[in-house]
Structure 1
Amino acid sequence: MPKNARVTLCCGPYESSGVVEHRTFRLQGLQAALTARGHQCVLEETRERNKVELVVNGEVVFNCDVKQLEFGGDGKLDPVCREAVAAVEEAH
C-alpha cells in the first residue's frame, strides 16, 4: 500500500459507565499510529455495537472489538494498533 492511503475507521457505539454511544477515546491511539505513518484517517459511525473496521480502497483490511484498543495514548505500545497499521500497509 502506498503511503498516504485514505483509511476509513468505521466504529460502532459501545458501553461505558452504563451509557451506550459513539466515542472516539479508544480510537485516538489508532488514529495517531496511522497518521504517524502518513495515512489519512476518516471516521465513520456505524450501527454495529463494539465494532471497529478499517477500510482501504473499499475493502475491510482489519476489524476488532473497540474495547480491545487501549484508551487514549499514541498507539505505540498497543499491540492491536500495531496489527492494524500492518494490515493497512499490506492492503492492495
Structure 2
Amino acid sequence: MPSNAKVFIKYGPYEAAGVVDYRDSRLRGLQAILTKNGHSVKLVKIEDPNTVELSVNGETVFTCDIKDLDYGSDGELDPLCIKAKDAVKKAY
C-alpha cells in the first residue's frame, strides 16, 4: 500500500469508570503510528461496543478490542498498534 493511504478507524463505545461512551484516548497511539507512516486517518464511530476496525479502500484489514490498546500511548511500544500498522502496509 502506498504510504499515503486513507485509513478509517472505526470504533465503538466502551465502559470506563462505570460509564459506556465513545472515547478516543486509546486510539491516540494508533493514530500517531499511522500518521507517522504517512497515512491520513479518520475516526468513525460505530455501534459495536469495545470494537476497533481499520478499513482501507473499503476493506477491513485489522480488528481488535479497544480495551486491549494502550491508553494514551504513542503507539511505538504497543504490539497491537504495530500489528495494525503492518496490516495497513499489506493492504491493497
Range of TM-score over shorter length = over 0.9
Structure 1: runs of 5+ lacking an equivalent: none
Q: Does 1:85 align with 2:81?
A: no
Aligned identity (percent) is: 53
Structure 2: runs of 5+ lacking an equivalent: none
Q: Give the Cα separation in 1 of the matches to 2:20 and 2:72.
A: 18
Pairs within 5 Å for 1:6-45: 6-45=6-45
Task: State the Cα RMSD in Å.
Answer: 0.3
Task: Tell me the equivalent position of 1:50.
Answer: 50
Q: Report deviation, 1:73.
A: 1.6
Determine helix, strand or coil for the equivalent of 2:33: helix
Task: Tell me the equivalent position of 1:72.
Answer: 72
TM-score w.r.t. structure 2 length? 0.99
Moved over 4 A (4+): none
Determine helix, strand or coil for the equivalent of 2:60: strand
Total equivalences in the alignment: 92
